[in-house]
Amino acid sequence: MFDKKIDILIFFILIQANLFGYIDPGTGSLLFSALFGIIGTLFFLSKALLIKLKTMSFSKNKSIDTEASKKARIIIYGEDKRYCNVFKPIIEELIKLEMPVIYYSSSEDDPIFEIKNDLLHTEFIGVGNKAYAKLNFIEADICLMTTPNLDVFQLKRSKGVKKYIHIFHAPNEASLYCLYSLDFFDAVLLSGENQISDIRELENTRNTKLKDLEIIGSTYLDELNKKKEAASKSITKVQNKKTVLIAPSWGMNGLLTRFGEKIIDPILESGYYVIIRPHPQSSISERDMLERLKNKYKNNADIEWDFNIDNIYSLSKADVMISDFSGVIFDYAFLFDKPAIIPSFSFDKRGYDAFELKEETWTFKTLPNISISIDENNFSNISSIIEYTINNNELKDNIIKAKEEAYKFQGEAAKNGALVLKTYLESV
């Protein structure tokens, strides 16, 4: 439609030029400058209009204007339903404070959609670029999300948002995110003191704006802790076998990517029951690798694959965990006071914010104190390492110390988070 109008406009001006026979260079230059200005304006307006029209169809409640949607000054975005434990408790506390909230999700079956309250407006806005097309034009005083790399890739800062806030979903630090992960946020809600120094050093190095940093605790760990007792009662242990949970991160440094069957086979051969819980991103970015491993072990009764939203059930079953640098190590340590086993390898920091730090990150300084290391050449002796780790009580003090640094205000994160958001609203 817009293309046709532009063609007609150009044709009309050319006809005018032929009718009058001559346009002096000055007038012609002005006309064509005006013409291209009009074309450019129409082009960008049409793009914006098309995006807005498309995003209207992504709404779960697309024809419903709720009181929350009219009055809310806070928008929360959940890029996946697995972050339900991060946002649900904060939303519930905001409702208690009688503060309207809009919650956008990129999961059509997000459990937060089950919350029914006049102060909460929920919408499914699609995934990937469809979601970003909506988010890039939102209007709110505050936008809260776990998604990093704001204004770096497709997800842009909307001019209609006054304050963008990132909230951590794990106790480890943001320097293990991709480059420029938090650079363009205005504030960050932290789970502990350990997450401050990396952010401040990167701000200083890159000369970016100082962010508001607020330690609220971890809503994610608080929610898992509530579910721990019920999970422990519901599990069924495999008779006469100890359970090893393999819970890696993803990418080139991930345990399954690096070692795969090299580490799985000797565990099975040693007579253990194995639960493999891949990182959710592996199902997207490393599907071929996962399918290969699932096919290899499809007839093995001693392997269980866990793709559930909550990891608490696998954590409750496990006698020991084997991981890499994943934040799940801290879930296991902080909730069950148990150490993990980590294959010894050097972490390739290229592509991560950690690459620009002068000192080692808190995570890599802490992991050796709360875990047992095993060399790749010693995988054949993994049985003895597992038994040593299970019966090791010396690491408990280190786990308690790490918890004191990285998991503040246990059980209070949701209330703290809601009060911080309320304070921000009063100041924006």
Q: Where are the beta strands (DSSP E) in 108-186?
A: 120-124, 139-145, 160-167
Contacts of 261 (CB under 8 A, 6+ apart): 293, 296
Mean pLDDT of 184-212: 96
Report the distance separating Cα 225 and Cα 181, nearest Å.
Answer: 28
Quickly tell me which residue has 């991103």 as its tokens: 281
Please tell me which residue, 326 or 3, carries the higher pLDDT value.
326
Mean pLDDT of 54-79: 68
Report the distance separating Cα 233 and Cα 78, nearest Å.
Answer: 30
Place 23 in a pLDDT band, splitting at 50, 70 and 90. very low
What SS3 state is found at 54? helix
Place 56 in a pLDDT band, splitting at 50, 70 and 90. very low
Quickly tell me which residue has 């997800």 as its tokens: 155
User: Does the structural domain 228-406 have CATH classification 3.40.50.620?
Assistant: no
Is residue 155 within 8 A of residue 136, CB to CB? The reply is yes
In sequence order, what are the beta bridge partners of 341?
Answer: 322, 372
User: Would you give the distance in Å from CA 353 to the centre of its chain?
Assistant: 15
Report the distance separating Cα 83 and Cα 87, nearest Å.
Answer: 7
Is residue 232 within 8 A of residue 316, CB to CB? The reply is yes
**Assigned CATH topology for domain 67-218+411-427:** Rossmann fold (3.40.50)
pLDDT at 424 over 50: yes
Domain ranges in the chain with CATH number 3.40.50.2000: 67-218+411-427, 228-406
pLDDT at 58 over 60: no
Please tell me which residue, 68 or 78, carries the higher pLDDT value.
78
Please tell me which residue, 250 or 114, carries the higher pLDDT value.
114
Is residue 116 within 8 A of residue 341, CB to CB? The reply is no
Mean pLDDT of 195-213: 96
Mean pLDDT of 41-65: 47
Report the distance separating Cα 76 and Cα 251, nearest Å.
Answer: 28
pLDDT at 358 over 50: yes
Please tell me which residue, 427 or 30, carries the higher pLDDT value.
427
Please tell me which residue, 247 or 21, carries the higher pLDDT value.
247
